[in-house]
Structure 1
């Protein structure tokens, strides 16, 4: 992929201290399907953070793209840092909610539009190359997933509205 210049909006990278951002990028570049592509890993972590910040303020359930989900999974696996960040930015834990295969399929086009609108409205730049595929059509672990909506509780019926 080519480098993408983000518009003059905020970027997700400024939501964490520089050392944590670099550490997450290193993990994505070393441990995931984008191994060795540090530029792509940087963009993925940036968009994952912007997605999570938008999820923190949106009353709607949002869904990541497949590549953005890679960044979210990487952050989520480091629970201490992730939980502290969620508390600081969202005031609550942002749950990662895999869809149950028994659930009805989501309207992925609407989920993508809703998610990109929320990121933009939250003031963050959208790296459109990372959001090409319809949001939530494939969770990084091969299932659909979303961020916990307004209630912040994965046991509610607000998982992924159609």
Structure 2
């Protein structure tokens, strides 16, 4: 379930030009075997995550969910673009520091709250924090998976 949010929220997608978003989402879909509509959501959430990590300098304490991780990998695999985007957005290159072993429902909830507090829309299904996350239709990281 996607959480409805107040007016004035923004999307990760809004941080890049439409052509760039299309290129990233198409790559993500192809590289990770996702339907394009899913890849669009993954890239949107990855852009929001990386933007919050970069602008708050809290990358070491945040991690993407299992579902959002392919989006961040897509960004960093486009190295020239990613380096330029980081410089424009934050003034420095945000390095990828893998910490997937620390993914817990609690961490994902904290990450989602940081992203939401920065004004971004959240797709709870991609973070494993949706209220209706129940087996066997699990929606992401967390104890139900």
Q: TM-score, normalised by structure 1?
A: 0.70
Tell me whether 1:80 sits opposite 2:80 in the alignment. yes
Other-structure match for 1:62: 62
Give, in angstroms, the shift of residue 75 of structure 1: 1.1
Structure 1, gaps ≥5 residues long:
136-162
Q: Which runs of 4+ in 1 moved over 3 A?
A: 4-8
When the two chains are superposed, the root-mean-square deviation of aligned CA atoms in Å is 2.2
Kept after mapping to 2: 8 A contact 1:58/1:118 = no
1:109–1:134 CA contact under 8 A, matched in 2: yes
Q: What are the residue-to-residue correspondences of 1:13-162 with 2, within 5 Å?
A: 13-34=13-34, 37-60=35-58, 61-99=61-99, 106=102, 108-132=104-128, 133-134=140-141
Q: Is 91-100 or 68-77 further displaced after alignment?
A: 91-100
Mapped partners of 1:97, 1:24: distance in 2? 21
8 Å CA contact retained: 1:50, 1:119: yes
**Count, aligned residues:** 127
Q: Distance in 2 between matches of 1:30 and 1:134?
A: 22
Structure ranking higher in helix proportion: 2
Shift of 1:39: 0.5
Unmatched runs of 5 consecutive residues or more in structure 2? 129-139
